[in-house]
A and B are shown apart, each in its own frame.
Chain A
Amino acid sequence: MLFRILKNSFLKRPKAVFLVFLSIAMGAAVATAFLGIAGEVSHKMALELRSYGANILLEPAAVEGGGVLHEEDLPKIKTVFWKYNITGFTPYLFGVAEISSGTKRERGVVTGTWFNKQLEVEGEAPTVQGIKVIAPWWDLRGRWPEAADEAIVGAALAKRLGTAVGKELVTTVGGRSRRFRVAGIVTTGGFEEEQLFAPLVTVQELLQKQGKVSRVLVSALTVPMDDFGRKDPAGMNKDDYEKWYCTAYVTSVAKNVEEVMAGSRAKPIWQIASAEGALLKKLNGVMIFLTILALGSAATAVSTSLMASMAERSSEIALMKAVGADRFQISSIFLGETLIISIAGGIIGYLIGDRLGVFISRTVFNSTIISPLWLFPTAIISALVVALAGSVAPLRRALLIEPVRVLKG
C-alpha cells in the first residue's frame, strides 16, 4: 500500500518530485566532485608548497666541529621508504675564503653545492637534484653554472666586490687559489646574498675536503602533524612506531633520511613544516566547508520545494490523520518518498559529480583522477543527509496539521 501511495503520489506530482530530485542530485554532485578532487587539490597544493623551501635539514650528528657527511651517501636518499615523497635535495659544503675581484677583496663564505645535477641511482628513474629544484624562488641574473669553474655570487657580495656576470673572481684558502667566472648573480632576500656558490666538487678541492658535505637540505611532501605525529617515536611500542613510520609526517621522513646518511642528524625545519601543515589543513577545511555549504543549500532547496508541496497536500495529510494515521505513519510516508527520491538523486548526483570531478581536475590541474571507492557511498549518504535535513521543517509542518481545520466543511 505504501508503495501504491508513493507511486501514485510521484506520478501525480512529477514537477514537485523532479524539483526535489534535482536539488538532491545537485547537492550530491557538488559534494562528489569536491570530495573527489579534494585529495588531488591537496596533493597539488602540497607540491606547490614544496617550492617554498626545504623542510628537512641534515647535519652532522657530532656537535663540535669535526663532524661531516659523505657525498657518497647522497644517492641513497632516493632509495628510502619515503623516496617518492622526496621532491628534491641538495648538499652544501661551507668554507671561509678570501674572495677578490680586481682590487677589491674580502673574507666571505664559499658554498659548494649542486645546481641542477643529473642524478642516476641504480634501480631508480634518473632525477635532477640541486638548488634549482629545491629553491626555485631564487632570483637569478645570468644563468646557472655549467662548468666546474663557474660560480654564482650573492647580490650583496657582488655589489661590494664590484663584480658582474661574465667577470672573474679569485678565492683563496690556505694558499690554494681558485679562479671562477661569474655565471649569475642571485637575489634571495636572505643570507645567500652574502655567499659565493660554486660546484660542490670544486669547493671540496679548494677546501681540501674531498667527498665531504656539511649539510643537506631536503624537500619532502609531508602530511600535517597531528597529536599522534607529535609523540616521541622513541617511547612507542612496535605497532605505534610502525604506524608513525608509515605516515608521512615531516619527522618520520626526516628519520627515514637520517638512517641512510651516515653520521647525520635530521631536523625538520619547523617554520616551513608547520606553516605548510597549517595551510594544508586550512585548505582541507575550505574544501569541507564548501562541501557542507553545497549540501546545506541543497537541503534548503529540498526544504523549500517540500514545503510548497506540503501546502498543496495539506488536505491529503489531514485526511490521512482523520482516518487514523498517527505521526509515525505520516512520517514514514513522507520520509519514504524523500528516501526514494534521495537515493535516485544520490546515484545521479554521483554520476554527474564524478564526471565533474574528472573534468575539473583535467582542466584545472591537468591531471587524471581515479575516484576512490568511498566516493559512491559518500554521495548516497550526502544525498540522504540532504533529504533528511530538508525534510525536517516540512515534516514538522505536516505533523502539526490539524485535520479539523483543513477538512472544515
Chain B
Amino acid sequence: MAANIIETSGLTRSYGDICALKPLDLRVAEGEWLSVMGHSGSGKSTLLNIMGGLDRPSGGSLRVGEEDLLALTEDGLARFRRDYVGIIFQQHHLVPYLSAVENVMLAQYFHSVPDEAEARSALERVGLGHRLKNRPGELSGGEQQRVCIARAIINSPKLLLGDEPTGNLDHKSTLMIMELLRELRAEERFTVIMVTHNQEVATWGDRTIYLDDGVLVREERNEQGES
C-alpha cells in the first residue's frame, strides 16, 4: 500500500458551540480517490476545507504531504494551497470578467508565472479548446466546471479537492466530468477527495466515508473505483 498523503488525528472544528467536526482520525493514501458523503450539515465541506488549507482546525493534528497544516502561517497556508491543492467548487467561482484561459492563467499567476500556451493546452485537455476566449457567463454549467478543473490541475497539484462539483449538473454532464477527472487522475496521479450527495458519483471513488453530525460513521470500499 502507498504512503499516506493525509493523516489526521483527533481533528476537530467547532464554530462557537457548534461542533462541525468531532475528533476525527483519517488516513488518505497517496493516489487514492476518496468520496465523502453525508447529509447536509454533517461537516463534509468543513473537513474538505481544512484538508485543503482553506480553513483551520480547532484541534488535533493534520499532516498533508510534508506539511503540518496547524503550524503554517496565513501566507504559509496560501503557499500550500497554490503548490499542493487544486479545488473544484460546486458554484464554479470563476472570475466573471476574465476569459476561460485568463481564469486558468490566474492560478498560474499566483503560483509562479502565467503561461498562456500551457493554460490553453489545459483547457484543450478538458475539451474546451474551442471556448478559450469566452467569459464564464457565456459558458454552460458543465463547461464552466471544466474551466474549474483546468484551473485546478494547471499547477500539477498533489491533491484535488471537489466540493460537490457535479451538484449543479445534469446526469449527462456529471458523467462527462467524472470521466474527465478519472482520465486526468490516471495521467497526473493526484489524490482526489470528493464531497458528494450522489451515491452514484461516490462509487467512482476507491473508498467512501460517511459523515453524520461531524462523526465518521461508516466507510466502504468501492469495487467500481478500483477498476
Contacts and interface: CB of A to CB of B under 8 A. Distances in A.
Contacts of A177: none
A327 B105 contact: no
Contact of A1 (B79, B114, B163, B164): B114
A319 B102 contact: no
A316 B75 contact: no
A11 B87 contact: no
Interface stretch (B91-99, B138-146, B207-215): B91-99
B125 interface: no
A409 B167 contact: yes
A326 B98 CA distance: 20
Contact of B95 (A319, A324, A327, A329): A319
A321 B78 CA distance: 7
A326 B87 contact: no
Nearest to B48: A404
A8 interface: yes
B54 A323 contact: no
Nearest to A313: B95
Contact of B151 (A8, A323, A326): A323
Interface residues of A, number: 28
A403 B52 CA distance: 12
B89 A409 contact: yes
A291 B167 CA distance: 56
A326 B78 contact: yes
A314 to B, nearest CB: 12
Nearest to A321: B78
A408 interface: yes
Given A1-B114, A320-B110, A327 B74 contact: yes
A329 B82 CA distance: 12
Contact of A324 (B83, B94, B98, B163): B83
A315 B78 CA distance: 16
B97 A9 contact: yes
B106 A408 contact: no
A11 B99 CA distance: 13
Contacts of B91: 407, 409
Nearest to B85: A324
Interface string B58-79: 0000000000000000110011
Contact of A323 (B81, B97, B102, B164): B81
A322 B148 CA distance: 12
A2 interface: yes
Interface string A1-35: 11011001101100000000000000000000000
B75 A323 contact: no
Given A12-B96, A404-B54, A409-B163, A327 B75 contact: yes
Contact of B110 (A4, A324, A403): A324
Contact of A315 (B85, B93, B109): B93
B83 to A, nearest CB: 7
B188 interface: no
Interface of B: 45, 49, 54-55, 74-75, 78-83, 85, 87, 89-91, 93-98, 102, 105-111, 114, 151, 155, 163-164, 167
Give the 9 A-B CB pairs with smallest separation, nearest first: A324-B82, A326-B78, A12-B97, A409-B90, A1-B109, A1-B114, A324-B81, A326-B75, A8-B97
12 contacts: A1-B105, A5-B106, A8-B98, A9-B97, A321-B78, A323-B106, A323-B107, A324-B107, A324-B111, A326-B75, A326-B110, A409-B91
